[in-house]
Amino acid sequence: MLWKLDAFLVEQTNRCATWLQEEHGMTMPSILSHIAMATVVSTGGSIIAMVMLRSPLVAALMIIFGTITIRALWPMVQRYQRDADRGWSHSMARDYAVRAIGAQEGQRTMRHLGIGLAMAILALSAMRSRPADVVDLLTIVLVASSIAHLYFACAEPKPPGTRRQEHGKLAFQGSF
């Protein structure tokens, strides 16, 4: 069942990335940069919230996990931003297509673990009798942005803004 869910999510993420690229003119590095930065920000927010609102042991574990996450993602954010600033090219499309194919196969286990972690967090949150607080909400955002990054890394790069140009025509234009 997890394989079918993973395949469905890869397909839906590919459709979403295509829509962002073709309709809104975003490039794949720009999309990945925004998602990776969301993960970095939510990790930082989770660290601060856990230090302030949780036990020292939980806070220490989150500091360790958060530091590893931020140190791993920050070079990716910089690379994505550098590629987004460079502009779209066919060599960039090839590079991101190769990365997408590699991510589809190579990160499958990580995506499955992310889905399992998300399901475990939802189940534990449902079983608790207290309402969700800031830490819980930031943890959900952190897990969601991490999973989104894994799935968007699998998306096929397209030239930005290609479909937007076709919408400017009237239905009868070009028929004469």
Where do the structural domains in the chain lie, given as residue ranges?
A: 2-158
Average pLDDT, the chain: 87
Neighbours of 149 (CB within 10 A): 22
Residue-level pLDDT at 163: 61
Average pLDDT over residues 140-168: 81
The C-alpha atoms of residue 42 and residue 47 are separated, in whole angstroms, by: 9
Q: Kindly report, residue by residue over 97-115, the tens digit of the pLDDT.
A: 999 998 888 889 999 998 9
Check pLDDT > 80 for residue 14.
yes
Residue-level pLDDT at 175: 47
How many CA atoms, within 13 angstroms, populate the side-chain half-sphere of residue 112?
Answer: 11
Q: Kindly report, residue by residue over 63-93, the tens digit of the pLDDT.
A: 999 999 999 999 999 999 999 999 888 888 8
Average the pLDDT over each of 32-41, 92-101, 146-155, 161-170 and give the range with the smallest value. 161-170
Average pLDDT over residues 18-40: 92
Band of pLDDT at residue 11, cut at 50, 70 and 90: very high
The model's pTM is 0.82
The single-letter code of the amino acid at 75 is P
Check pLDDT > 50 for residue 26.
yes
Q: Kindly report, residue by residue over 34-52, the tens digit of the pLDDT.
A: 999 999 999 999 999 999 9
87-98: buried (b, 16+ CB within 10 Å) or exposed (e) per residue? Answer: ebeeebbeebee
